[in-house]
Chain A
C-alpha cells in the first residue's frame, strides 16, 4: 500500500521560509507514470494545487506561487520537499503531499494525512 507522510515545522514566522518533506513508502518515486504533488487547504476552504515534480526533477508550479516556490526531490531517500519563501498569514493551511497518476488521467490517487502549518507574526 502506498503511503505518504508529511513532516516539518507546524509554526513558521512571517517572512521566513516554510519547509516540508514528504516521505513515500510502498512505492518508488523513481517509477515512471507518476508525479508528486503538494496541495494545500486553507482552514474551512477548498483545495489549492501548489505544484508537482517528476522523479527526473522536472517541475510544474502554480503560477500564483511560482516566484516563491521550489520543490526538490531526493530519490535516494524516496522523498520530495516543498520550500515556500517569504510566507505570510495567507500561507496558513493544511499542506498535503500526494501522488498523481498519468495512467489514471492526471488524477491524485494517494494522499498524505496532511500537516497544519501556521504562519505567525
Chain B
C-alpha cells in the first residue's frame, strides 16, 4: 500500500498570500494518479486537481498542481477567504489511499 504524507499539518497564512502544500508518497505513483481535494467543515470533499496537474471542472486557476514520482505540490497562488479549509491528496495504485491532510488557517 502506498502511504501519502502531507506537510505541513497546519499552514497559517493571510488572505492574498501564496500557499504551497506538499504530498509525498512512500513509492512512485504510476501515471501521476494523484488528486487533490478541498474539504470545509461539515461538507464533503471537493475535487480540485486530478492527474497531478489538471484542474477539475469549475476550479479557479489560482489552484495548481505539480510534481511526479513521489513528490507532489498543490499551490494556491493568492489565498481567497473561501480557500481556508483542509486539503487532502489521494493516489491510485491498485487501491486508493489518502494523505492525512493539511489545514490552511487564517493567520
**Which residues in A have some Cβ–Cβ distance to B below 8 Å?**
37, 46-49, 52, 60, 62-63, 96, 98, 100-101, 104-109, 111-114
Q: In terms of DSSP, what is the predominant structure of the interface of chain A?
A: strand
List chain A residues, Cβ under 8 A from B43. Answer: 113
Q: Note all chain B residues with C-beta closer than 8 A to A63.
A: 1, 95
The listed residue (A60, A101, A111) touching B44 by CB distance below 8 A is A111
B54 contacts which chain A residues (CB < 8 A)? 104-105
Top 5 A-B residue pairs of the complex, sorted by shortest distance between their CB atoms: A106-B92, A107-B35, A107-B50, A111-B44, A49-B96
Number of A-B contacts (CB under 8 A): 68
- Complex contact A107–B45 (CB within 8 A): no
By CB atoms of chain B within 10 A, which of A100, A101, A107, A111 has the most?
A107
Interface positions, chain B 16-72, Cβ under 8 Å from A, are 31-33, 35, 37, 43-47, 50-51, 54, 56
Residues on B close to A: CB < 8 A? Answer: 1, 31-33, 35, 37, 43-47, 50-51, 54, 56, 88, 90, 92, 94-101
> How near does chain B come to A41, taking the closest CB pair, in angstroms?
9
CA distance A107 to B88 in the complex (A): 12
Most A CB within 10 A of own CB, among B31, B33, B98, B99 = B98
Question: Is B98 touching A46 in the complex (CB atoms < 8 A)?
Answer: yes
- B45 interface neighbour in A52, A105, A108, Cβ under 8 Å: A108
Across the interface, do B88 and A47 meet the contact criterion of CB distance under 8 Å? yes
Cβ–Cβ contact B95 & A49, under 8 A: yes
Distance to closest chain A CB from B39 (angstroms): 8
Contact of A111 among B32, B45, B97 (CB under 8 A): B45
Beta-carbon contact of A107 and B90 below 8 Å: yes
